[in-house]
Amino acid sequence: MDLQEMLDQAATGTAHVEGGWGQGRATYGGLVGALAYAGLRAQLTTDPRPPLRSLTVNFVAPVAPGEAEVDATVLRAGSSATQGLVLMRQEDKPVAAVLAAFGAARESAIRVGPTAVMPTLPEPMTIDPFPYLAGMTPDFFQHVEMRLADGGFPMSGATTSHMTGWMRFREAPPTFDERHMIALADSWPPAVLQMVSKPTNGSSLTWTLELVDDVSAEPDTHWAYSVTTDAATDGYAHTDARIWHPDGRLVAISRQTVSIFG
Q: What is the pLDDT of residues 11-35, one digit of tens each?
A: 999 999 999 999 988 999 999 999 9
The angle that helices 3-10 and 29-41 make with each other, rounded to 10 degrees, is 40
Provide the sign of the torsion angle of the four alpha carbons 207, 169, 250, 106, taken in this order.
negative
Backbone dihedral angles phi then psi of residue 205, each to the nearest 5 degrees? -95, -50
**pLDDT value for 202:** 85
Q: Given a cut of 90, is residue 252 above it in pLDDT?
A: yes
Complete domains list, the chain, with CATH: 3-104+119-261 (2.40.160.210)
**pLDDT value for 79:** 87
C-alpha 49 chain-centroid distance: 21
User: 200: which DSSP letter?
Assistant: -
**pLDDT value for 106:** 87
Evaluate if pTM is beyond 0.85: yes
Q: What is the mean pLDDT of residues 169-190?
A: 97
Over residues 105-151, the pLDDT tens digits come to: 988 899 898 889 999 999 999 999 999 999 889 999 999 999 999 99
Averaged pLDDT score across all residues of the chain: 95
User: 192: which DSSP letter?
Assistant: G
- Identify the residue with better confidence: 201 or 170: 170
CB 153 within 8 A of CB 194: yes
The SS3 call for residue 126 is helix
**pLDDT value for 145:** 97
C-alpha 179 chain-centroid distance: 9
Over residues 34-67, the pLDDT tens digits come to: 999 999 999 998 888 899 999 999 999 999 999 9
Provide the sign of the torsion angle of the four alpha carbons 60, 61, 65, 68, taken in this order.
negative
User: 116: which DSSP letter?
Assistant: P
Lowest-confidence range among 135-139, 174-178, 258-262?
258-262
CB 238 within 8 A of CB 204: no
Q: Biggest alpha carbon distance in the chain?
A: 54
**pLDDT value for 46:** 84
* Peptide bond between residue 48 and the one before it cis (omega within 30 degrees of 0): yes
